[in-house]
Amino acid sequence: MLAKRVHQLESSGIRRLFELGLKMKNPIDLSLGQPDFDVPAPVKKAATEAIEKGMNRYTPTAGLPELRKALSLQLRKENVHTHENVMMISGGSGGLNLALFALADETSDVYLLDPCFLTYPQLIKLVNAEAVYVSTYPTFRLSPEGLAEAVKKREAELAARGVPARRKILIFNSPGNPTGVAYTAAETEALARKARELQFQVISDEVYDTFTYDQPHVSWGKFDDQAIVIRAFSKTGGMPGWRIGYATAPTAIFNEMLKLQQFTFICINTPAQWACLKLLELDLSSIMDEYRARRDLICSLFDRHGFQYQKPGGSFYVFPSFPVKDVPRFMKRCIEREILIVPGELFSMQNTNFRVSFSVKPEVLERGVKLLSDIAAEC
């Protein structure tokens, strides 16, 4: 009755956690993958004004011209090569869908940094491509040498099976989910150089671009004129439910993504596009200062309670090691004590770590890390 593609997809473990949390009376929820601040008032006002003024019809498939122009100017300031080709997308995931459907098929290998955002492997299944995992443990940072070694290993596997060379696509994510890793400009440039040498087509997922704490974000698109760059207002504007973002790409790929959007998403929510034009005018530095303080707080709490982790430079996640060997028991006790964390197996080929979000109030972080420490002592 059903198509094969749906049988190979796995339901989202994050959504299952979300549903589990709804059944708890007073959970400490450190699993949240969304910011906890509200949409800024001027943005709400711009959205309601757009609705009241009748701005509710279709926009061009690529999006509202005024918004695209403003984003193009912003990307130009960042020296992103493809800044002239901007299209609005249905959040970061919508952009990833368009990019993968434009690029990948059964002849493609899509390289993923392990651990990675849990949606990536499922989207790769949808386009009948194969995922190739590149371990970044224990630092969670990919090196040019690590990428080259992964390609060498994969090509040896294919040769042993008598399989012809396959198209190579890399999904790069910085700042990262679930690790919080934010690559430096020098690291990104070196990786872009190596990826070009290895003939990769790169999709750069930059939905956390404004959430950086130790250095400004530098786009992969600054160093690669063939890269697809994907960003979203979901995190930046505290509007994950609005499903709006933007993408840039070289002209040939951009046109195919537009064609795909014509027959899928059609166009993006019109009032939301007008509202995001207002969002671009706002200074959100105080929000980022608050998140930097939370990053510093959770690191100090983990230090105090003896957790092993890599300090995140961006996003709002930390990916510490499990503090006990008996991981199933630890996770069971967390559920019993009504604290929600995300096990690493949802993001990775191994289950040695867990994701914690610091997109919650400081007092919740303090109670949560203390409870995790107590549970570890019980196990």
Instruction: Find the mean pLDDT for residues 7-36.
Output: 78
pLDDT value of position 18: 64
340 & 319 share domain: yes
175 & 257 share domain: yes
pLDDT value of position 54: 96
Q: Given 279, 314, 347, which residue is the final one in a domain?
A: 279
CATH number of 296's domain: 3.90.1150.10
291 & 269 share domain: no
221 & 134 share domain: yes
Residue 311 pLDDT > 70:
yes
Residue 353 pLDDT > 80:
yes
**Mind listing the pLDDT tens digit for each residue in 51-92?**
999 999 999 999 999 999 999 999 999 999 999 999 999 999
pLDDT value of position 26: 87
Can the peptide bond before residue 121 be classed as cis, meaning omega within 30 degrees of 0?
A: no
Instruction: Find the mean pLDDT for residues 38-59.
Output: 97
193 & 108 share domain: yes
pLDDT value of position 12: 64
CA distance between the termini of the chain: 46
pLDDT value of position 21: 63
Of 356, 256, 274, the closest CA to residue 315 belongs to 356
- How many structural domains does the chain have? 2
Instruction: Find the mean pLDDT for residues 147-170.
Output: 97
142 & 272 share domain: yes
154 & 297 share domain: no
CATH number of 98's domain: 3.40.640.10
Question: Which residues 6+ apart lie within 8 Å of 171 measured at CB?
Answer: 96, 110, 111, 112, 113, 116, 120, 202, 203, 205
pLDDT value of position 14: 63
In whole angstroms, what is the distance from residue 224 CA to residue 364 CA?
A: 41
Q: Let me know: does 331 contact 344? Beta carbons within 8 Å.
A: no
25 & 140 share domain: no
Q: What is the overall mean pLDDT for the chain? A: 96
Q: Given 228, 258, 279, which residue is the final one in a domain?
A: 279
Of 230, 251, 277, 238, the closest CA to residue 90 belongs to 230
Residue 163 pLDDT > 90:
yes
Q: Let me know: does 329 contact 315? Beta carbons within 8 Å.
A: no
25 & 93 share domain: no
258 & 145 share domain: yes
pTM of the complete model beyond 0.85 = yes
pLDDT value of position 1: 79
pLDDT value of position 32: 84
pLDDT value of position 70: 98
pLDDT value of position 9: 77
213 & 132 share domain: yes
174 & 70 share domain: yes
Provide the CA 53 distance to its chain's centre, in angstroms: 34
Residue ranges making up the domain that contains 306:
4-39+284-378
Q: Given 222, 254, 279, which residue is the final one in a domain?
A: 279
